[in-house]
């Protein structure tokens, strides 16, 4: 709300340089389309409450469009609502519903092409095919938007916030649900994604590829069909995010595929089938994260190397770590493992006996998923015990040499 007022003020101050148009269904000026046509760079268009069915609106001027009391722009299941091909455009406080659905075209509520400094603020999107679609944009701000779709079939729904070949974006405080991917980045660099809430999307809460040097902070990714998947990217920072309740055989709290030099800190991974799945990733640094109540906290394929897991907390996970090979080129050190049963005679709060996070049975389940049904049976207990005494199958060098005796107190 405060932000809204701020931008209203901002809009007023801008109007000092341009003209302000008021579109009202009951007034003389009742068409947005014609108002846009008459407006000039630097103008502001205020849209009063009402339902506007004007098909596609093309913006080729640097104008500010502000909705008062959320006027509804209806795409009548046929049209793309805004097509933006100009710099310094702002879209604020509108409610956009029912765009068309396309199998070839990415029909969107807001489609920006080669636009600089676009601002999309405090809008509502209901049943739009794509919500906000940015291509070749620079310096865009997408903030405080609410995107939701009720569509049930995956092929009838696009992504919530979709960006392709962009740079320096800020995606902040948006709520996305019911879309295919909540937030989708492809070739997006130097961008910041923070405080978003992406949940109950059909596929991924967050999905990015080839998007280097981006930062993800304090987002919540919850209950998405397949969790979060990030691929082919270098130098990503993921800090203080929550990855929660992603359940299913191909659902991951965070899937990393060919990710390099990522910094993953202070995140909370809770109740996922697999909290972190890593494939072909290198030099990722996981530190001070909490993994709690997951089926598998970490599944690391053997083609990962030089990754570091340190000072994380592993709590009530069914399996702490699993891997599919015996060669391990990663470091696991100084984590807290609630399954650790060692002792600390010298009282330095570091366990005197190393901890092996990969249990025999987790490797069995890796090969034969049905075997998970026997977990916690006496037979399995004995198998795991035997393996601890005489390790033969589990990778011997995947070991935490300095397991913490007490849980780290990360309160976030």
Binding piece for another protein, criterion CB under 8 A, among 33-41, 44-52, 114-122, 244-252: 244-252
**Residue 235 and residue 243: Cα distance in Å, rounded?**
20
CA distances (Å), origin 243, targets 128, 276, 293, 333, 411: 25, 9, 12, 22, 16
Beta-carbon contacts of 85 under 8 Å, excluding residues fewer than 6 positions away, are: 58, 59, 60, 112, 113, 114, 115
By beta-carbon proximity to another protein, the closer residue of 122 and 317 is: 317
Site for another protein in 97-116 (CB under 8 A): none
By beta-carbon proximity to another protein, the closer residue of 150 and 378 is: 378
By beta-carbon proximity to another protein, the closer residue of 44 and 246 is: 246
Site for another protein in 44-73 (CB under 8 A): none
Distance of alpha carbon 240 from the chain centroid: 12
Considering the complex, what minimum distance in angstroms separates the CB of residue 249 from another protein? Answer: 5
Considering the complex, what minimum distance in angstroms separates the CB of residue 380 from another protein? Answer: 8
Q: 204 by DSSP, 3-state: which?
A: coil
By beta-carbon proximity to another protein, the closer residue of 184 and 291 is: 291
**Residue 172 and residue 180: Cα distance in Å, rounded?**
19
Q: Which of 222, 213, 211, 169 is nearest to 194 (CA)?
A: 169
By beta-carbon proximity to another protein, the closer residue of 71 and 295 is: 295
Considering the complex, what minimum distance in angstroms separates the CB of residue 339 from another protein? Answer: 8
**Residue 243 and residue 245: Cα distance in Å, rounded?**
7
Binding another protein (rule: CB under 8 A), the pick from 17, 247, 343, 412 is 247
Considering the complex, what minimum distance in angstroms separates the CB of residue 377 from another protein? Answer: 5
Binding another protein (rule: CB under 8 A), the pick from 27, 102, 325, 369 is 369
By beta-carbon proximity to another protein, the closer residue of 172 and 268 is: 268
Binding another protein (rule: CB under 8 A), the pick from 38, 248, 353, 396 is 248
Beta-carbon contacts of 190 under 8 Å, excluding residues fewer than 6 positions away, are: 167, 168, 213, 214
**Residue 121 and residue 391: Cα distance in Å, rounded?**
57
**Residue 160 and residue 146: Cα distance in Å, rounded?**
9
Q: Which of 12, 71, 73 is nearest to 44 (CA)?
A: 12
Beta-carbon-side half-sphere exposure of residue 79 (alpha carbons within 13 Å): 16
By beta-carbon proximity to another protein, the closer residue of 79 and 252 is: 252
Considering the complex, what minimum distance in angstroms separates the CB of residue 80 from another protein? Answer: 35
By beta-carbon proximity to another protein, the closer residue of 31 and 407 is: 407
Q: Buried b / exposed e across 322-350, counting CB within 10 Å, b at 16+?
A: bbeeeebebbbebbbbeebeeeeeeeeee
Q: 267 by DSSP, 3-state: which?
A: coil
Strand-pair category, 197-199 with 313-315? unpaired
Site for another protein in 281-340 (CB under 8 A): 293-296, 315-316, 318-319, 338
**Residue 119 and residue 112: Cα distance in Å, rounded?**
10
Considering the complex, what minimum distance in angstroms separates the CB of residue 248 from another protein? Answer: 6
Site for another protein in 249-288 (CB under 8 A): 249, 251, 271-274
Considering the complex, what minimum distance in angstroms separates the CB of residue 379 from another protein? Answer: 4
Query: By rule CB under 8 A, what string of x and - marks binding of each residue 370-389 to another protein?
Result: xxxxxxxxxxxx--------
- Distance from the first to the final alpha carbon of the chain: 25
Considering the complex, what minimum distance in angstroms separates the CB of residue 368 from another protein? Answer: 5
Q: 32 by DSSP, 3-state: which?
A: helix
Considering the complex, what minimum distance in angstroms separates the CB of residue 221 from another protein? Answer: 15
By beta-carbon proximity to another protein, the closer residue of 103 and 249 is: 249
Considering the complex, what minimum distance in angstroms separates the CB of residue 98 from another protein? Answer: 31
Does residue number 29 form part of the binding site for another protein (CB under 8 A)? no
Q: Which of 225, 216, 133 is nearest to 180 (CA)?
A: 225
By beta-carbon proximity to another protein, the closer residue of 108 and 294 is: 294
CA distances (Å), origin 255, targets 165, 178, 252, 261, 306: 22, 20, 6, 15, 17
Site for another protein in 334-363 (CB under 8 A): 338
Size of the site for another protein (CB under 8 A): 32
By beta-carbon proximity to another protein, the closer residue of 187 and 408 is: 408
Which parts of this chain interact with another protein (CB under 8 A)?
A: 247-249, 251, 271-274, 293-296, 315-316, 318-319, 338, 367-381
């Amino acid at each position: 709300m405060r932000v809204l007022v701020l931008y209203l003020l901002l809009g007023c101050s801008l109007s000092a340089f341009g003209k302000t148009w008021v579109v009202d269904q009951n007034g003389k000026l009742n068409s947005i389309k014609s108002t846009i046509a008459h407006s000039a760079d630097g103008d502001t268009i205020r849209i009063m409450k009402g339902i506007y069915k004007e098909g596609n609106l093309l913006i080729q001027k640097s104008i500010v469009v502000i909705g008062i009391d959320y006027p509804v722009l209806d795409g009548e299941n046929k049209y793309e609502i805004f097509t933006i091909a100009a710099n310094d455009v702002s879209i604020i406080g509108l409610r956009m519903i029912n765009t068309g659905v396309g199998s070839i075209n990415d029909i969107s509520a807001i489609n920006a092409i080669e636009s600089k400094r676009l601002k999309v603020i405090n809008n509502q999107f209901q049943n739009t095919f794509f919500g906000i679609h940015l291509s070749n944009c620079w310096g865009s701000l997408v903030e405080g938007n609410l995107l939701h779709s009720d569509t049930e079939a995956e092929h009838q729904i696009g992504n919530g916030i979709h960006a392709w070949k962009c740079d320096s974006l800020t995606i902040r405080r948006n709520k996305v649900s019911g879309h295919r991917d909540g937030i989708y980045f492809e070739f997006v660099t130097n961008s910041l994604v923070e405080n978003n809430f992406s949940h109950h999307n059909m596929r991924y809460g967050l999905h990015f590829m080839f998007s280097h040097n981006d930062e993800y902070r304090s987002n919540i990714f919850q209950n998405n069909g397949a969790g979060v998947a990030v691929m082919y990217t270098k130098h990503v920072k993921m800090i203080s995010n929550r990855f929660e309740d992603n359940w299913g055989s191909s659902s991951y709290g965070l899937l990393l595929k060919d990710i390099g030099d990522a910094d993953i800190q202070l995140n909370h991974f809770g109740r996922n089938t697999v909290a972190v799945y890593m494939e072909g990733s290198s030099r990722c640094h996981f530190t001070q994260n909490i993994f709690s109540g997951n089926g598998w906290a970490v599944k690391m394929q053997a083609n990962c190397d030089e990754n570091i897991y340190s000072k994380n907390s592993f709590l009530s996970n069914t399996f702490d770590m699993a891997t599919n090979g015996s060669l391990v080129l990663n470091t696991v050190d100084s984590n807290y493992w609630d399954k650790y049963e060692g002792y600390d005679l010298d009282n330095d709060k570091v366990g005197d006996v190393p901890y092996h996070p990969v249990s025999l049975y987790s490797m069995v389940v890796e090969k034969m998923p049905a075997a998970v049904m026997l977990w916690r049976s006496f037979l399995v207990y004995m198998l795991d015990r035997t393996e601890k005494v005489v390790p033969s199958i589990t990778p011997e060098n995947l070991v935490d040499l300095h397991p913490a005796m007490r849980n780290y107190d990360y309160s976030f």
